[in-house]
Structure 1
Amino acid sequence: MANTPQSKKRARQNERRFAVNKARRSRIRTYLRKVEEAIASGDQQAALTALRAAQPELMRGVTKGLVHKNTAARKMSRLSARVKAIA
């Protein structure tokens, strides 16, 4: 348990950051799920639209420190390859 004023403040800050990061992570997952669903439906146009919407969201996660740069690049690469394969 936090005892000093500084540790109490850090605990408050950690709670706040956790809530913000959780919301961001959830938002990224939602965008990625929309791409997955569009790929599963076989609609290339919808998948392409969803992929274009997901890309900036995923890259924003990189700049905010939620996702590693290489992880985001790998996800985008694999998704775009699957969207391309629909045709």
Structure 2
Amino acid sequence: MANNASARKRIRQTEKRTIRNKARRSRVRGFIRKVEQAIASGDKGIAAAALVAAQPEMQRAVTKGVFHLNTVSRKLSRLSARIKAIGATAEA
């Protein structure tokens, strides 16, 4: 256990940061889930709108240190590719 004031303060800060990060991560996952549900429904317009709403939230999580930049870039790239594929499968 922490024996001095600075160590106890660090513990308090870490607890607050953990709660904040968990909320941010959960929020981002919710946005991603909405995009994936829209993709599954097959409506390209709704899926694209959901991705536009999710993108700033995902980028914000990067600036807050919750996700790594490359992780978010990869997820955005894969989601946008899946949305583009909706139009390709519907036309074919």
- Same fold by TM (over 0.5)? yes
Structure whose alpha-carbon radius of gyration is higher: 2
Matched residue SS, 2:67: coil
1:65 aligned counterpart, secondary structure: coil
Letter in 2 for 1:64: K
Q: Give the count of matched residue pairs.
A: 87
Which residue identity lines up with residue 29 of structure 1 in the other structure? R
Q: In percent, how many aligned pairs have the same letter?
A: 62
Counterpart residue number, 2:17 = 17
Alpha-carbon RMSD: 0.6
Distance (Å, rounded) in 2 between the aligned partners of 1:74 and 1:15: 29
1:2: Cα distance to partner? Answer: 1.4
TM-score, scaled relative to structure 2: 0.92
Letter in 2 for 1:86: I
2:66 is aligned to 66
Report the secondary structure of 1:67's partner residue. coil
Partners of 2:10 and 2:70 in 1: how far apart? 30
- CA deviations 1:45-81 (Å, max 9, x no partner) are 1100100000001000111111111111110000000
Look up the match of 2:90: none
